[in-house]
Amino acid sequence: MSFKLMVVAALAGGAGWTYATQDVWTRASFLQAAAVLLVTQMVVYGIYDVFLYPKWFSPLRHLPTAPGSHWLMGHGLKILADKPGAPMREW
């Protein structure tokens, strides 16, 4: 999801939220609602992108991989710790 689309959705949601909950529109209440929605969208999208999509929704999730990968770093730590090319020959 692009950042521009997230900003547009947050602005539209902020306008709707401010309209539904406030009798008097102020710039501060609108910007506060838009900022809260934007941060919420970014956190939820980050959780989806890092944790949910690779494990449950990716079409590549069933491909075999080398054993011993880290949930965030993958095999990067092992590759950096060993001699160049050694982990690849082992796999």
pTM, two decimal places: 0.68
Q: What is the pLDDT of residues 46-59, one digit of tens each?
A: 999 988 998 899 99
Lookup: tokens for 25? 């529109």
Instruction: List the alpha helices (DSSP H) in 22-85.
Output: 27-47, 76-81
What is the pLDDT averaged over residues 1-23? 85
Could you tell me if 79 and 68 are in contact, meaning their C-beta atoms sit under 8 angstroms apart?
Answer: no
Could you tell me if 15 and 30 are in contact, meaning their C-beta atoms sit under 8 angstroms apart?
Answer: yes
| Averaged pLDDT score across all residues of the chain | 87
Q: What is the pLDDT of residues 62-80, one digit of tens each?
A: 998 888 888 788 888 888 8
Please report the pLDDT score of residue 77 as a whole number.
86
What is the pLDDT averaged over residues 29-52? 90
Query: Residue 15 and residue 29: Cα distance in Å, rounded?
Result: 9
